[in-house]
Amino acid sequence: MDLKELDGILARYPEPESTIISILHEVQSVCHYLPEEALRQLASKTGVPVTRLYSIATFYHFFSLTPKGRHQVHVCLGTACHVKGSERVLTEIERELGAREGETTPDMRFSIGAVRCVGACSLAPVMVVDNQTYGKMTPKNAKEALKKYE
């Protein structure tokens, strides 16, 4: 992450100490994860200790300290999706992509994650790829849907 970008983000948050979570959201949306270097820069610019940034980054599921793939695949494991077989969908995606939940494929194409309910329960089971929501997934059509992502 270049410094100008970080300065640009910080300029929008006059009180960085209390809005640090929003700032981390923005950093992650630029880098797709929270690089150590960016956290160190952030710490020195805001005065928020890097240990606190680390504790926030590891406490909240949304943040990642490791690089993510080009596309984020999230399988919903909420209750409605669970009773409609989302675990089968996840297992099949893991098998197909050769990576487990929480991991990234070696070619950096996909990162696989599980989410606890995206609130689209009427469409269960649900898979979200980047910002696109796919409803009524079966192991088969989930695999199909992933084909168009490069």
**Contact between residue 81 and residue 119 where contact means Cβ atoms under 8 Å apart:** no
**What are 143's two structure tokens?**
């695999």
- Please state the closest distance from residue 11 (CB atom) to another protein, in A: 17
Question: Judged by CB, which is closer to another protein: 28, or 41?
Answer: 28
Question: Judged by CB, which is closer to another protein: 61, or 100?
Answer: 61
Binding interface with another protein (CB under 8 A): 17-22, 24-25, 55-56, 59-63, 77-85, 88, 91-92, 95, 115-124, 131-136, 138-140
- Please state the closest distance from residue 142 (CB atom) to another protein, in A: 12
- Please state the closest distance from residue 87 (CB atom) to another protein, in A: 9
Partners of 73 in the β-ladder: 112, 129
* Size (the chain), residues: 150
Question: Judged by CB, which is closer to another protein: 17, or 36?
Answer: 17
Contacts of 54-58 spanning 24+ positions with Cβ under 8 A: 56/20, 56/21, 56/24, 57/24
Question: Judged by CB, which is closer to another protein: 2, or 62?
Answer: 62
**Contact between residue 31 and residue 38 where contact means Cβ atoms under 8 Å apart:** yes
